[in-house]
Amino acid sequence: MTAMRALCSGMAVDHRVVDAQGWAALAQHMHAQDARLLALWGSDTRLQCGGFTVHACWLQRDALTLAELVLACGVTHYPALHALFPVADRLQRALRDLLGLQAPGMDSRPWLRHTAWGADEFPLRRDAPERGPERAPEAERYAFVAVDGEGVHEISVGPVHAGIIEPGQFRFSVVGEKVLRLEPRLGFAHKGVERRFQQLTLNEGAGLAARLCGDSAAANAWAYCMALETLAEVRIPPRAGALRALLLERERLANHLGDLGAIVNDAGFGFGLAQFSRLKEDLLRLNARVFGARYPMGAIQPGGVAFDLDDDAQSMLRTQCGVLRREVERLKVILDQHEGLQDRLAATGRVAPDLARRLGMLGLASRASGQALDLRAIPGLAPYDKLGVRIAVEQGGDVAARVAVRFAEVFESLRLSLALLDALPEGPHILALPEVIAPGLALGVVEGWRGPAFIALQAGEGGRIARCHPHDPSWQNWPALEWIMVQDIVPDFPLINKSFNLSYSGHDR
C-alpha cells in the first residue's frame, strides 16, 4: 500500500503500520493523550496481502494519527478499542456487519445489518454478490437491554416517525415520566454507499460524497475532494478554496437557522419556528439563484468548484449577510427575554464537560460542553488561517448552551462569509487533475456544521476507487444523548434530541 501523504488541508498525519500488539499500545497512548477516535473501518485486501486490514484514525487538535493493522490470512479478530473509546463499540459492530471482523468483548448484536442481508453474509467482502438476496432474511428480534423493577415499563418510539424524519428506533425504560434507560437502534437508512463507491471512478466519487447526507453536502464533498487532491498532489487555486469555504459557511447557516427554529418550537415557542424558517428559506432561495441549487450538491468538484461568482452575485450575498445579522440579532433578544422559554432550555439535557471529553464528543454538541475543538481554527488551514476563526464554546452543556453555540456560530459564519467575499482572490476557480493518479491512501477532514466530516479514500488501478470510507460525527454524539436522558423525563426527549439534531442518513451511510 502506498504510504500516506500529508493532507493538503495543512493537518499533519502520523501513519503507522502496526501489529496487534502495536495496535493496542497505540490505542493506550492515544487515550492517555486525550485524543478522539475519529473513525474505525476495514478493508478486504485478501487478494493483495492474504488478509483483511483494519484502520483507526485519531484526532489530536491539529494532527491525525492513522493506524493500519494488516491481519494474517484467515484471521478475523483484532484488538478491541471500546474499553478506551466508547464510540468504538458501535463502530466495531458496523465493521463486523460489513466485513465479518470481530473484536473481543464487543457487543454481539447487529447494528447495520437488520434484514438487508443474512448473518453469514458480509457486503464489503470482495466475494459478496453485487446485488442483495431476492428475498430478505426474516427479521430478527433485536435484544434491547431489559430494565426490571417495580413500576418499570417500556415506551417504544419508531423506527417510523412523523413527517420526513428518517427511521430510528428508541426504547425508553421508565418509571412514570423518569427515564431509567434509553437505548436506540439505528441503521435503518443504511444505503450501502461504501460498496457503491467501489463501482465508481475517483472523479465520480465526489458526486456520491456530496449525497451522503443532504444537510452536509458541502462538508462531505470537500472532505472527499481534499483526499483526492492529496492523492493527485494538487493544490487547488486560492479562489476555489475561498468559494468552498463560502459554501461551507452557508451550509452551516442554513442548518443553524433551521435548528434554532425547531428547538424553540419544541419548547412551545411557535413564533420562533416561523421566523427562523423564513430566514432559512431566504438563504436557500439565494443559494438557488447564485449557485444553481438550494442545496448545491454539485458545487464542490475535484480541483475546485463548478461555479464562479460575478459582481452581482457577490453583492446579493453581501446584502443577505447584513439582513440576516440584523434579523437574527432581533430574534436573539426576543428569545433571551422570554423567561418561560429560557427556563425550559436551561439545565435540560446537560452533558457535563468531563462526560463530553470521556465520550469523545465532537463538533457543535461538544463545544456546548466545554470542548474547544473546531478544525477551522487549525493553524495553516486555508483559507480559514487568514480569517481568525473564533471558536464558540459554552460550559453549560444543556439545551440552552447548544442554542447559544448556534447563535454564536451564526454570527461568526456571517462574519466569515463577508470576509471571504471582500477578499475573494483573483484567478481560476477550478483546475484539472492529472489523468493518472497513482494508487494510494489519503484522508480528508472538514469541520462541517455538526462536526468533522471525514473521508478515507484509497485509489486503485485505472483511476478507480478501491475503498472509500465516510464517517459522520453523529457516531460520536449519539451515545451522549442516551447518557443524559437518564437525568431527564420522557417529555424532554424531543427538545433534547432536536438540540443535538444528529444524523440518521449520514450515520447509516
Q: Which three cell numbers stand for residue 56?
A: 483507526
**Can you say how many angstroms the Cα of residue 451 is from the centroid of all Cα atoms in its chain?**
6
Per-residue tens of pLDDT for the chain, all 509 residues: 344 444 445 688 999 999 999 999 999 999 999 999 999 999 997 655 568 999 999 999 889 999 999 999 889 999 999 999 999 999 999 999 999 999 999 999 999 988 878 888 899 998 888 766 566 666 678 899 999 999 999 999 989 988 888 899 999 999 999 999 999 999 988 889 999 999 999 999 999 999 999 999 999 999 999 999 999 999 999 999 999 999 999 999 999 999 999 999 999 999 999 999 999 999 999 999 999 999 999 999 999 999 999 999 999 999 999 999 999 999 999 999 999 999 999 999 999 999 999 999 999 999 999 999 999 999 888 999 999 999 999 999 999 999 999 999 999 999 999 999 999 999 999 999 999 999 999 999 999 999 999 999 999 999 999 999 999 999 999 999 999 999 799 999 999 999 999 999 888 88
Determine, yes or no, domain membership for 280. no
Picking from 407, 470, 61, the residue whose alpha carbon sits closest to that of residue 252 is 407
**Could you tell me if residue 291 is inside a domain?**
no
Pairing of strands 452-459, 465-471: antiparallel
User: Tell me, what's the pLDDT at 56?
Assistant: 98
- What is the helix (H) or strand (E) element at residue 55, kind and residue range? strand 51-60
Under a CB-based contact definition with an 8 Å cutoff, are residues 216 and 453 in contact?
yes
pLDDT of 80 reads 98
User: Alpha-carbon Rg of the chain, whole angstroms?
Assistant: 22
> Cell match 493537518: residue?
11
Tally of domains within the chain? 2
pTM: 0.96
In a domain, 86, yes or no: yes
The parent domain of residue 449 ranges over 204-232+433-471
CATH of the domain at 4: 3.30.460.80
Backbone angles phi, psi at 426, to 5 degrees: -80, 165
Residue 251 located in a structural domain: no
Grid cell locating 464: 478507480
d(CA 384, CA 415): 12
The two counts, helices (H) then strands (E), for the chain are 16, 12
The residue assigned the cell 428480534 is 141
Do residues 210 and 300 make contact, with C-beta atoms less than 8 angstroms apart?
A: yes
Distance set, CA 134 to CA 112, 117, 137, 190, 436 (Å): 19, 10, 9, 18, 39
**Is residue 107 situated within a structural domain?**
yes
Q: What is the pLDDT of residue 133?
A: 59
Per-residue model confidence (pLDDT) at position 8: 41
Q: Is 51 a member of any domain?
A: yes
Closest listed residue to residue 364, CA positions, set 223, 184, 221, 501: 501
pLDDT of residue 476: 97
Domain boundary among 97, 112, 127: 112
Is residue 397 in a domain? no
Residues constituting the chain: 509
**Comparing C-alpha atoms, which of 249, 306, 259, 305 is closest to residue 279?**
259
**Nearest CA-CA partner of 467 in 99, 153, 8, 37:** 99
> What CA–CA distance (Å, rounded) separates 64 from 67?
10
Last residue of a domain, one of 78, 112, 146: 112
Q: Of the candidates 79, 112, 145, which is a domain's last residue? A: 112
